[in-house]
Amino acid sequence: MRAYDFWDETGTVESGPYPIASLSLRPNSSATANDLQMLFKREMPIEKQLAVADRVLAGVQRWRDGIAEAAERRRTTEDELAAAREEIARLKAEAEGA
């Protein structure tokens, strides 16, 4: 099954403690939002549960890091553009004053 939904500021992530060790993702507060519930089968050993949780954590960390890198590039570009505009304004003012 595939379900698509869009995250917004009202999205939630909830988790339950072992032995249930559930993970719930809800991308927004809309009543029609998809809700993903992840659970382990009762017979899955805790070591295997931990291995799965580590893979999920690594995937989410890569996702987050990619977003953080894009945000940093955007901030850097915006800062460089603002600095260039300031320099242009300074040079124009200098040229007009000369």
Q: Where are the domains of the chain?
A: 1-39, 41-98
Q: pTM for the complete prediction?
A: 0.72
CB-CB contact of 38 with 52 (8 Å): no
pLDDT of residue 23: 96
**Residue 53 burial (C-beta neighbours within 10 Å; 0-12, 13-18, 19+):** middle
SS3 at position 28: coil
**pLDDT-derived band at 5, boundaries 50, 70, 90:** confident
Cα 50 from chain centre: 22
Other C-beta atoms lying within 10 Å of the C-beta of residue 36 = 12
Give per-residue pLDDT as tens, 15-55.
999 999 999 999 999 888 888 999 999 999 999 999 999 99
